[in-house]
Structure 1
Amino acid sequence: MQTTARDTLNHLLATDPFLRETLVLNQEPHNPNNYDEAYAFEDDASENLSRAKSLLATYNRYAKKLRKHNLTATKIVLKALKDQAYAHKDRLIDPLPHYGAPTLTGEPLQLTSTLQVQAGSILQSSACFWIRPNDLAQARIVKFVVGQVEAVNLAEGYATVRTSDGERFTLQPLGRTDTALLGCDGQSLEVPILPIAGATLEEAEHKHAHDTRLQAFIDYLQTSVEKYTHPSVSSMYYSHARAQYRPTFDHAPFSGNPETLEEEYAHVESVCTDFYRDGGLLDQLIDTTGQKLDAALKAYRQELQR
């Protein structure tokens, strides 16, 4: 069966990603802001001829609007991302020149399938208890981040752990990898438990603060780029956001090294400038896609007029 000009045009409308991002917005079902100008040409020749004459103008109008919106959003978002990244960087602390090891005494307790603890062991986790005694005025939030084992009770199978602010917890084995049962004032939580470097609680807390702040910095850079290059269109405010109207990067633009942040952001800004400049990558993509659409529409109009 011979492929018609209408078949070719419908295939282009159904498969070209840039064309579809320009002509289609599908948000939540029944959202009044939804539109679809890339629907297939069916059997109504009169309607099809009229639409075939106007669709290129519709494409150019939408492309101009989306280009303007995404350029403006890029400037706003990049500044916000940069400000937040530098705020994360400002919270970083230098590691200590050396982290020692604690002095361990007494019999070991197999706390997890991969971890034995003794009196003196220093551990890290992430847990928070809301302690509510009968007198609500004495209610408090208790956190366990880094703690040192004070004693091991092998007979009853638990370890007592103290934090630097004087809070005490119990840790009981669950027979699982990297998790144990953390208890405080009659409450308990299953939490991840890992060793941490440091000869003292102070050293270990410094290590934990350094590692978590650096990881937060790295995570922020990774997620900020993802949110920028794959913008959400799930709300009316972002209804003009399009991934095809944003620059792409051949590799992750941020290494997570605070020392190279300024240089890497300069590169990101340079890529964005090249993408949006007059006659740049986005304009070329708009023009190339428009030419493909124009050629398909002309061929279909000729087919209709035979």
Structure 2
Amino acid sequence: MEPQITARDTLNHLLAADPFLRETLVLNHEPHNPNNYDEAYAFGDDASENLSRARSLLATYNRYAKKLRKHNLAATKIVLKALKEQAYAHKDRLIDPLPHYGAPTLTGEILQLTSTLQVQAGSILQSSACFWIRPNDLAQARIVKFVVGQVEAVNLAEGYATVRTSDGELFTLQPLGRTDTALLGCDGQSLEVPILPIAGATLEEAEHKHAHDTRLQAFTDYLQTSIEKYTHPSVSSMYYSHARTQYRPTFDHAPFSGNPETLEEEYAHVERACTDFYRDGGLLDQLIDTTGQKLDAALKAYRQELQR
């Protein structure tokens, strides 16, 4: 015969299993925090204490829910405003692509730089590398970057190519037998870096292409991660933390496509979702009310059980 489920069992299960109720009654989700106020602990065996708590827990829930609603509404507005400003800052840095990107004129010997890339004098390449050049005279120390460069010459006998950037810095590139990386050298220093071809008939065209592509990628990446920053904000307090997701609107799919043309419309959608969630009688108020009704019913049943 199965043991009878008591009203206390039902109440304790609700306190342990209902995510919205737990986020409301546990004001800090960090373990061992001295301010970890947990009002969702199970009812024990002290009938007198339990009766007193059963009479006051609904009021505690309503008080905490009111505070959480207020703090999360304010913090969500702050976070979304900051995310929107950053998104538009990324958008403002975008540049238009050129109508056409040509191809450079290639001459001379061919060097197999990677397993997928052959280069000749004239080849234009892209990478991302930074050297800290420190000569004996530290006053002349400088940072040298390689982003886009053009092959000046190929030395097959020594197995390297010389590459110059638009600011005049000269680099060497040596094959390593890898799929997409080579050894980039400058003033006695070297780094293994990814090397890729880039469209453009000249360094100027290729640098424009690189700037366009990297800025667009940064914009797209920011939009894809901004919703995570919203869901897991760095802002943290007793009432607003990354763990308290029930008090913020959620999205079934990423609300941003990465298309700068639709950014305004997509942010408007996010803002409408937040407005609908926090408005009087909106989704959050409905969650608070329905969860409060479940708690009230469980508490009433348990009080009746205690008074029998």
Question: After TM superposition, is the score higher than 0.5?
Answer: yes
1:89-116 deviations in Å (ceiling 9; x for gaps): 1111000001111112223222222222
* Contact 1:247 1:275 survives alignment (8 Å): yes
Which of 58-67 and 33-42 deviates more? 33-42
The residue aligned with 2:258 is: 256
**Can you give the 5+ residue segments of structure 1 that lack an aligned partner in the other structure?**
none
* Contact 1:147 1:162 survives alignment (8 Å): yes
Helix, strand or coil for the counterpart of 2:109?
Answer: strand
- Cα–Cα, structure 1 residues 28 and 168, in superposed 2: closer, same or farther, change >3 Å? farther
Which of 147, 150, 168 is residue 148 of structure 1 equivalent to?
150
1:179-217 deviations in Å (ceiling 9; x for gaps): 222111111112121111111111110011001111111
TM-score for the superposition, normalised by structure 2: 0.92
Shift of 1:84: 1.6
- Cα–Cα, structure 1 residues 116 and 29, in superposed 2: closer, same or farther, change >3 Å? same
1:212-245 deviations in Å (ceiling 9; x for gaps): 1111111112222211123346666954972211
Shift of 1:155: 2.2
Tell me the distance in 2 between the aligned counterparts of 1:210 and 1:43: 68
* Contact 1:218 1:256 survives alignment (8 Å): yes
Q: CA RMSD in A?
A: 1.9
Counting only pairs closer than 5 Å after superposition, residues 37-186 of structure 1 correspond to structure 2 as 37-186=39-188
State the aligned residue count.
305
- Cα–Cα, structure 1 residues 287 and 159, in superposed 2: closer, same or farther, change >3 Å? same
Shift of 1:32: 2.6
TM-score for the superposition, normalised by structure 1: 0.93
Tell me the distance in 1 between the aligned counterparts of 2:183 and 2:28: 47
- Cα–Cα, structure 1 residues 284 and 168, in superposed 2: closer, same or farther, change >3 Å? same
Deviation >6 Å, runs of 4+ = none
The residue aligned with 2:31 is: 29
* Contact 1:126 1:145 survives alignment (8 Å): yes
* Contact 1:112 1:177 survives alignment (8 Å): yes
* Contact 1:108 1:117 survives alignment (8 Å): yes
* Contact 1:13 1:19 survives alignment (8 Å): yes
* Contact 2:232 2:242 survives alignment (8 Å): no
Shift of 1:146: 0.7
1:28-58 deviations in Å (ceiling 9; x for gaps): 5433332222122222222222222221111
Shift of 1:140: 0.3
1:142-161 deviations in Å (ceiling 9; x for gaps): 00111111122222222211
